[in-house]
Amino acid sequence: MRSSQQQNCGFVYPLPKRFVTGLNNTTKGSMIKRNIISCLTIIIVGSVFFSCEEEKVPKAFYPRNDHEAYEHSLEEANLLETALGKEWKQSAESSLQSPISVNAPYEEAFYLDPNEADALGYRFEAKRGQKIQVSVSKESQEDLKLFIDLYRIEESKPLRHVATADKEELILGFEPRRDAEYVLRFQPELLRGGKFKVTIEKVATLKFPVAGKTARAIGSFWGDPRDGGRRKHEGVDIFARRGTPVVAPTKGYVRFVGERGIGGKVVWLYDSDRGNSLYFAHLNSLIAKQGTYVEPGDTLGTVGNTGNARFTPSHLHFGVYRNGAVNPYHYLKEPPGKVKHVRGSLNLMGEYVRLSRNTQLRESMAGRYYSTSLSRNEIMKVVGMNNDFYRVKLIDGEFGYVPKSRIESIQRPLEVLRVQVDGDITKFPDNDSIWRYVEQGERLSILGKHDNYWFVKNDSGELGWISDDQKTARKRLRVDPD
């Protein structure tokens, strides 16, 4: 029977008795001591590499957002290895790598096809000092989870996840701490989809600090030279009549009220929501009380020209500080433009349509970039719409925008033909995807075209494609006299 020492450590071997016999006590003690040290060393190493009793515990998974948690659940259920699961994951990645460029404010209705594991991304820029506001509404009755996530684009780095929308209200708010471009991604659960509408807006995070004025009253900007170019302006100057109220642009704590050097009469306000320090200088009178809390719109003082501004027109010097001065302009300036709301029925969303006349495919709504020339009667599917354009998916998989005025429904056929000789219909506009045979006497409605193929529908409502040769060969098809 092995000793208890051997049972606890599978790699410890005590010295044989013959090696100990005849040694003096000092030598024996020294060798026994070395043997014990060797045993402990092997125990430590063995516990890391060779322990026969140690059980490996899987590393705990902590999702950073709902989308990541759902993807992990698909993986645990072995669904990510299915064809549809792989498509769902690929759509999530491609929507981030190839998003649609838009200029906020922007509104678009969009359709996510449950049979194609769709995901959708929008790309736009935002400035430090602005707030990104996103709201989404479900335009169809499907009960599903829609994952809405915001990512920041960082040069030479992976996209950084920065915010997730409230899963119940489908709203998202985020204040950038740097000027950057962002990608907003939408993706539903596997095998789910529907029609949605998204509104993307940017707003200034602070109320304007001079009563009755707007950003048009700013007459000197961040970075303007001062003292003959020896320093730069670390704020903005807002010009107004002496005595005009200076008001709190946000709720906060009044840290200082008094006179300080070149600023003259000043107020320092701590922004409770953002952790910034706000600086109001050259005031004519001081009203706020140090050590008190204020709400947006509370009067802090009045516009003046104290300090080193005594020889200039009355104005408020306003600054924002966070680990040093930052440009306050976008904290105060409301971004230009208003939301152009989606107009018209959403009935064509997710449906095939055709072009009523030649046009060009617009790549995105940010800039007038065109990629493809499209001919009359070209077939495409509507996957989104804004106030003036439909976003479409072409038969070859390309996406883009076309004017609403150049899209028409395929409910009314271009032509109706009756088959005279048996033929075939393909699933796609090619010769390799034969779907079914067309029997003599069947009637086909011609709905549109792509390349050398025509999109058709039989009387049962089934859709497919026939070649140009099939359509024009009088021996096979002829115009229905009805």
Q: Are 85 and 79 in contact (CB under 8 A)?
A: yes
> What per-residue string of b and e applies to 280-291 under the rule 16 or more CB within 10 Å gives b?
bbbbbbbebeee
The amino acid at 223: G
Beta carbons within 8 Å of 6's beta carbon, 6+ residues apart: 12, 13, 14
Q: Are 304 and 283 in contact (CB under 8 A)?
A: yes
Per-residue confidence (pLDDT) for residue 197, from 0 to 100: 97
Angle at 41 between CA 36 and CA 46, to 5 degrees: 125
pLDDT band at 224 (very low <50, low <70, confident <90, very high): confident
Per-residue confidence (pLDDT) for residue 15, from 0 to 100: 35
The count of C-alpha atoms lying within 13 angstroms of the C-alpha of 327, restricted to the half-sphere facing its C-beta, is: 17
Name the packing angle between helices 66-76 and 83-97 (round to 10°).
Answer: 150
Per-residue confidence (pLDDT) for residue 20, from 0 to 100: 37
Per-residue confidence (pLDDT) for residue 227, from 0 to 100: 63
pLDDT tens, 445-469? 999 999 999 999 998 899 999 988 7
> What per-residue string of b and e applies to 380-394 under the rule 16 or more CB within 10 Å gives b?
bbbbbbbeebbbbbb
pLDDT tens, 355-369? 999 999 999 999 878
Q: What is the DSSP string of 16-27?
A: PHHHHTT--HHH
Per-residue confidence (pLDDT) for residue 56, from 0 to 100: 57
Residue 37 predicted with pLDDT over 70: no
Residue 479 predicted with pLDDT over 70: no
Per-residue confidence (pLDDT) for residue 26, from 0 to 100: 43
Phi and psi, residue 430, nearest 5°: -155, 180
Per-chain mean pLDDT for the chain? 86
Mind listing the domains of the chain with CATH numbers?
4-49 (no CATH), 66-204 (2.60.120.380), 215-332 (2.70.70.10), 352-409 (2.30.30.40), 415-479 (2.30.30.40)
Percent of all residues in the chain with a pLDDT value above 90, rounded to a whole number: 70
Q: Calculate mean pLDDT across residues 51-56.
A: 50
pLDDT band at 40 (very low <50, low <70, confident <90, very high): very low
Per-residue confidence (pLDDT) for residue 132, from 0 to 100: 97
DSSP 384: E
Beta carbons within 8 Å of 182's beta carbon, 6+ residues apart: 123, 124, 125, 126, 132, 150, 151, 152, 153, 162, 176
Q: Calculate mean pLDDT across residues 295-321.
A: 96
Give the least confident one: 130-134, 167-171, 347-351.
Answer: 167-171
Residue 17 predicted with pLDDT over 60: no
Pick the more confident residue, 376 or 16: 376
pLDDT band at 29 (very low <50, low <70, confident <90, very high): very low
pLDDT tens, 371-427? 899 999 999 999 999 999 999 999 999 999 999 999 999 999 999 988 777 778 999
Residue 46 predicted with pLDDT over 60: no
Which residue in the block uniquely carries the two structure tokens 């016999």? 21
Q: Calculate mean pLDDT across residues 115-133.
A: 96
pTM of the predicted structure, to 2 decimals: 0.82
SS3 state of residue 31: helix
Residue 271 predicted with pLDDT over 60: yes
Per-residue confidence (pLDDT) for residue 229, from 0 to 100: 62
